[in-house]
Structure 1
Amino acid sequence: MNDRMMQAVLYDRYGGPDVLYVGRVPRPEPAPGEVLVKVRAFSVNGGEMAARSGRLRLLLGRRFPKRVGLDLTGEVVAAGTGVTGLTAGDRVWGVLGRTSGFGSAAEYVTVPAERVGRLPGGLDPVEAAALPVATTAVTALRDKAGLRPGERLLVRGAAGGVGSAAVQLGRAYGAEVTALARAANLDFVRDLGAHEAVDHRGVRPAELGRFDVVLDTVGTDLRTFRHLLRPGGRMVGIAFDLGRPLASLGYIAGSTVHGRGRVRFFSGDPRRADFDALARHVAEGALRPAVDTVFPSLEETAAAHRALEAGGVRGKYVVRVA
C-alpha cells in the first residue's frame, strides 16, 4: 500500500448514516505547530450528525467530500517545527480545533499540538476515546458556572457523552447532582454518582425544584429550564435547538442582557491545559470513561452514527481504527 495514502471516512452528499463510506485520501503532513497522530480510536458526537445530515449546510457549504470525527486517541508519529513537549511515540488524546473541522475518523490526522495532551498511563486508548469530550464538562462546571461544594446541580441529558462526565465531575466538585435522563438510563447515571436520577419524560420541569447550576446538553426548552434557577443561579448550555436554530440562538443572546439568570452558551475548544486537568481527574478517580459500545473498525462508523441517532446512548459510542 502506498504509504502516502490512508483510509478515512468520507461523504459526498448530505443525508443519513448510509452516505458514509471509507475512502482513500492523501496522508497529511504536520505543519509548523502541528503533530501527526496515528489514530487508535475516536468517538461519535452529536455535532457530526447535524453536519452530515445537512442541518448545518448554510455554514458548511456544498464542497465535497467531507469528513467526520472530532476527537481522538492515538500515538504521535511526527511533530512539525516549533512543537515542544510532544515527541514521536507519545500516547495522546485530543480534539480537533474549531478551524480544523472534522476529520479524526481516519488512520492519521494532523492536530495543532496545543489541542492534544498526554494520555494518562494505564488508561486503555480505546476506552479513553470516550473522554476528550469531558473537557467540555470541566469547562462548563468549573469555569463557566463556577460550581461550588454544596450547590444543587441539574444535568440535562445526563446519560450522554458530556452529561455522563458532568454527573461524575459534579459529584467530585461536591455538588448535589440531579440527573435527567431516559427511564432506561436512570440506574446508569446513579452508578456515575447522581444523587437523584429522574426520567425526563415522567416529570414536569417545575416539579424538579430550584437549582444553583443547570447544565443543558439538549438545547430545547431553554426558557423553561432557566426558570428553575435560584437567585444567583447559573445556566450553561452547550447545544441549541437545531429545529429552531435562529430562535434558539436569539434567546441565548437575549438572555445575556435581559432578566435574571444568564444562559452561558459555549462550544468546547480545549487546549493542552484542559487535557492535563482531565488527566488529573482520571488519576484521582473522579472520572472514568463511560463507553456504551466499541465499534471495531472504520467501516462501522455508519453503524455508530445510526446508533447515536436512534437515542438511548449510555456515555459514548467509540470507533476503533483497526
Structure 2
Amino acid sequence: MNDDRTTMKAVLFDRYGGPDVLYVDRVPRPEPGPGEVLVRMRAFSVNGGELSARAGRIRLLTGRKFPQRIGLDLTGEVAALGPGATGVAVGDRVWGVLGRTSGFGSAAEYVAVPAERLGRVPDGLDPVDAAALPVATTAVTALRAKAGLRPGERLLVRGAAGGVGNAAVQLGRAYGAEVTALARAANLDFVRGLGAHKAVDHRAVPPGELGRFDVVLDTAGTDLRTFRHLLNPGGRMVTIAFDPTRAAATLGYIAASTVHGRGRVRFFSGDPGRADLDDLARHVTEGKLRPAVDTVFPLEETAAAHRALEAGGVRGKYVVRVA
C-alpha cells in the first residue's frame, strides 16, 4: 500500500445509500491554498447532516459526482500554513467546522481549512472530547443570538440527548433558564445529569401535557406547528433541522410564522467561524459546557458510527478517532 507523504487515508463513498457504502481508501493529500491551513486530523464526530448527504436526501446540493467525501467537524493540529494564513501557527491544537462552501471531507488524515474557520482547543481538553464540541456552537447561537434566552425563562429542548441537544441543556442551565429536556426513556438520567430540571420521555408524554415555554429549541424538524403552540406570549422557537422530503412546506410554515399567529419560528444552520469557536472555548473554560462522548470508533469503522447514529439513542456524540 502506498503510504508516502503525497497520499492519506480518507472515508469515501461511490454511491448514495446506507452506512455500508462508506469505505476507507488512499487519496491525494491536500496542500493548503491561500489563506488555508493544513490540519493533521485527530478526531471528528458524526452529524445528522452527513447521514442525509450519504443517503442522497440532499443530492440537489451534493450532486452526482463520485467518489464523495464525508466528515463535517474537526479536531487536530496545524501541520502547515498556506500563503496569507493568519491567526494560528504550526503545532497549534485546533478545532472547527468545514464551511457551507467547503462541503464535507474531515473524515481523513489531513484536511485543508480556511484559517478563519479554526479556533484553538482549550488547554487540557483531549482531542476525542474536543471533537464532541464544535457542533455546540449551534446551541450557543440558537439560545443566545436567535432566541435571546433570558434568566428565569422556561426552555424546552427537543432531542436533548443528541449532539446539539445535550449542549443546549447544559447552556440553558448555565444561562439561568428552567430547562425541560425531551429524550428517550433510556436517556432521562443522562439529560438530568447534564442539568435538566425536568426530563420527559417524548414517547410517553404528549406535547400538550408539557406546559408552556418561553423558548423551544427543536433539533428534530418535525411537528413544528404542535410545538410552536406551546409558546407563551412573546415566546420564541428555534429549529436547526427540517425534513428534506417536506422542505418546501416546512420552510413555508416557518416563513408564515413571522407574520401570522403567536410565536415566531426561526430556522438556521450553524456555520461557525473563529469568533464562535473562541466563544465556545470560553464556555468550556468557564465550566458552562462539558463534552459528552457516547462511543469512540476508529477511522476504519466510520460506517459503524453512521449506523449507530441512525439507530437512535445516542448520548452526546459518536466520535471517530483518526490518529
The two structures have a TM-score, normalised by structure 1, of 0.98
Match of 2:189 among 175, 187, 190: 187
- Measured in 2, the distance between the counterparts of 1:91 and 1:215 equals 31
Letter in 1 for 2:8: M
Counting aligned pairs with the same residue, the percent is 83
Counterpart position of 2:163: 161
Counterpart position of 2:240: 238
- Measured in 1, the distance between the counterparts of 2:65 and 2:295 equals 32
Is residue 216 of structure 1 aligned with residue 212 of structure 2?
A: no
- Measured in 2, the distance between the counterparts of 1:258 and 1:12 equals 45
Letter in 2 for 1:10: L
Counterpart position of 2:25: 23
Task: Find the residue that maps to 1:244 and give its secondary structure.
Answer: helix
Task: Find the residue that maps to 2:164 and give its secondary structure.
Answer: helix
Counterpart position of 2:313: 312
Counterpart position of 2:153: 151
Is residue 52 of structure 1 aligned with residue 76 of structure 2?
A: no
List runs of 5+ in structure 2 lacking aligned partners: none
- Measured in 2, the distance between the counterparts of 1:15 and 1:79 equals 36
Letter in 2 for 1:307: A
Q: Are the equivalent residues in 1 in contact too, given 2:155–2:216 (CA < 8 A)?
A: yes
Aligned length: 321
Match of 1:108 among 107, 110, 129: 110
- Measured in 1, the distance between the counterparts of 2:24 and 2:129 equals 23
Q: CA deviation at 1:253?
A: 2.1
Counterpart position of 2:36: 34
Q: Stretches of 4+ moved more than 3 A in 1?
A: none
Counterpart position of 1:292: 294
List runs of 5+ in structure 1 lacking aligned partners: none
Counterpart position of 1:196: 198
Q: CA deviation at 1:54?
A: 1.0
Q: CA deviation at 1:124?
A: 0.4
Q: Are the equivalent residues in 1 in contact too, given 2:7–2:28 (CA < 8 A)?
A: yes
Letter in 2 for 1:314: R
Counterpart position of 2:257: 255
Q: CA deviation at 1:258?
A: 2.3
Bigger drift between 203-212 and 242-251 goes to 242-251
- Superposed CA deviations along residues 171-227 of structure 1, whole A, max 9, x for unmatched, are 000000000000000000000000000000011111111100000000000000001
Q: CA deviation at 1:311?
A: 0.4
Letter in 2 for 1:315: G
Q: CA deviation at 1:257?
A: 2.5
Q: Are the equivalent residues in 1 in contact too, given 2:87–2:116 (CA < 8 A)?
A: no
- Superposed CA deviations along residues 273-314 of structure 1, whole A, max 9, x for unmatched, are 11111111111111100000011x211100000000000000
Superposed counterparts of 1:116-127, under 5 Å: 116-127=118-129
Counterpart position of 2:230: 228
